[in-house]
Amino acid sequence: MPTVAVHNKKIIRTGMKPGNAMQDILSRQYYSHIIARIKKGGNVYSKNGITFYLTDSFGFCYGVDRAVDLAYATREKYPNTRLFLTTEIIHNPRVNKNLLEMGYQFLTGPYKGHVTVDELTAEDVVVIPAFGTDLQTLKRVLDKGCQIVDTTCGSVLNIWRRVESYIKDHFTVVIHGKHYHEETQATSSRVLKNPHGKYIVVLNMKEADHVAHYICQGGDKETFLKKFEKATSPGFDPDHDLEKIGLANQTTMLGSESLSIADHLKKAMLKRYGNKTLSEHFLNFDTICSATDDRQNAVMALEGKKLNLMIVVGGYNSSNTNQLCYISSQFASTYHIENFEDILSSEAIRHKPHGQWETVVTNDWLPKGPVNIGVTAGASTPDKVVGDVVEKILSFR
């Protein structure tokens, strides 16, 4: 369904494409000749003693591609209108800065401008990012009468449909995700659409194990609620709300961990309720986004290439890039950088180690002599950003 009539306006979801002039701008900003050449050569490229191994799948996914196209097409369609984004369109600094330069204003997030949702008018156009927005924000923008362009990815919409079906059947939604991430907040807000909707967000297997333990053996309710204080729906009662659970996930989590968590919770329900009535207590459907899965598998496929190091390019707040960093750090020295400017010299590199919030500078990162470098990028990273990184490294030889 391409459009939905609301408040005499329509939420535009499809049907807008950037025209030729905008396509040229997109191409100048995001296309990389060197990356195109490496892809053509089978994702391997050697020069002056450096061999780059690009993962088979990296960079812009279909959802991000579409969101960026829609944002650019919106500028073209509304050249003289105030344009807003509810927050970052995707978690990539280059893309968000380009949108700022095109006149977009951000209502929240790191690029937040001075206009608030309360100050919007019916003349304004508001773009919703690829990971969606929470229902409260959507309602406030709709109440202002703004034209909305919704770039929410189809894979995220699928999860919302699944979550709504769980709630309809009185199942509590267990979301494998980060409770502070925009996509998870948007998903959990869909749970609360229904007055009896309940959810709990688990970050990792350790937290899932805590839930599994409570399902099997109960425990101290206050301690449990304190632990998941920011990650449960209002009035959550683990004694009652963990009797029927349905699993969902934030699309950019580690796919293998989402599957293990589902399996672990299924075993807990089996232990508690037995096989006969399991389907009355546990539901799970694979909602892992294929683009995330492909990028994670592609990094794993580089294990065995005798890499000296791995470069992971993407926003520091990009969940899927952080997962790629985690995977590659299991088998290679890994540097997660946002762009070529983080490569300070052939001796020093600024990067964010997995699991840390702050960047650090590491010296002697690039070995002398022949070197094999694995390269990948998160789903919100344009080829141009990756190409600039490759060219900067090549400039040292």
**Which residues are identified as catalytic?**
183
State which residue has the least CB distance to ligand SF4. Answer: 63
Position 130 contacts ligand SF4 (CB under 6 A): yes
Residue 289 or 343: the one with the smaller Cβ distance to ligand SF4 is 289
Round to whole Å and give the CA distance between 261 and 254: 11
Min. distance of Cβ 234 from ligand SF4 in angstroms? Answer: 27
Neighbours of 341 (CB within 10 A): 11
Min. distance of Cβ 368 from ligand SF4 in angstroms? Answer: 38
Round to whole Å and give the CA distance between 146 and 340: 38
Return the residues of window 247-266 that contact ligand SF4 according to CB under 6 A. Answer: 251-252
- Rounded to 5 degrees, φ, ψ at 154 are -60, -30
Residue 63 or 238: the one with the smaller Cβ distance to ligand SF4 is 63
Distance from chain centroid for Cα 106: 18
Residue 186 in contact with residue 131, Cβ under 8 Å? yes
Position 155 contacts ligand SF4 (CB under 6 A): yes
Min. distance of Cβ 219 from ligand SF4 in angstroms? Answer: 34
Residue 314 in contact with residue 378, Cβ under 8 Å? yes
Min. distance of Cβ 286 from ligand SF4 in angstroms? Answer: 13
Q: Choose the stretch contacting ligand SF4; rule: CB under 6 A; options: 166-174, 240-248, 287-295, 350-358.
A: 287-295
Residue corresponding to tokens 């807000």:
189
Min. distance of Cβ 58 from ligand SF4 in angstroms? Answer: 12
Q: Which two tokens mark 219?
A: 């425990």
Instruction: Name which position in 35, 242, 379, 393 contacts ligand SF4 (CB under 6 A).
Output: 379
Q: Exposed, middle or buried: residue 1 (CB in 10 Å: 0-12, 13-18, 19+)?
A: exposed
Q: Which two tokens mark 159?
A: 């999860």
Neighbours of 247 (CB within 10 A): 26
Round to whole Å and give the CA distance between 157 and 286: 14
The interface mask with ligand SF4, positions 179-208, x = CB under 6 A, is ------------------------------
Q: Choose the stretch contacting ligand SF4; rule: CB under 6 A; options: 27-35, 148-156, 161-169, 325-333.
A: 148-156
Neighbours of 145 (CB within 10 A): 15
CA dihedral 41→45→46→48, nearest 10 degrees, is 120
Position 378 contacts ligand SF4 (CB under 6 A): no
Residue 320 or 339: the one with the smaller Cβ distance to ligand SF4 is 320
Round to whole Å and give the CA distance between 328 and 66: 28
The interface mask with ligand SF4, positions 210-249, x = CB under 6 A, is ----------------------------------------
Min. distance of Cβ 24 from ligand SF4 in angstroms? Answer: 24
DSSP 4-69: EEETTEEEE-SS----HHHHHHHHHHH--HHHHHHHHTTTEEEETTEEEEE-SS-S--HHHHHHHH
Q: Which two tokens mark 288?
A: 């892992």
Give how many residues touch ligand SF4 by CB under 6 A: 15
Min. distance of Cβ 182 from ligand SF4 in angstroms? Answer: 11
Q: Provide the 3-class DSSP secondary structure of residue 250.
A: coil
Instruction: Name which position in 107, 156, 247, 310 contacts ligand SF4 (CB under 6 A).
Output: 156
Residue 314 or 387: the one with the smaller Cβ distance to ligand SF4 is 314
Distance from chain centroid for Cα 90: 8
Reference 83, options 142, 46, 127; nearest CA is 127
Min. distance of Cβ 152 from ligand SF4 in angstroms? Answer: 9
DSSP at 332: S
One-letter amino acid at 331 equals F
Position 382 contacts ligand SF4 (CB under 6 A): no
The interface mask with ligand SF4, positions 51-90, x = CB under 6 A, is ----------xxxx--------------------------
Residue 156 or 390: the one with the smaller Cβ distance to ligand SF4 is 156
Instruction: Name which position in 71, 146, 291, 299 contacts ligand SF4 (CB under 6 A).
Output: 291
Residue 133 or 155: the one with the smaller Cβ distance to ligand SF4 is 155
Binding site for ligand SF4 (CB under 6 A): 61-64, 130, 153, 155-156, 251-252, 289, 291-292, 320, 379
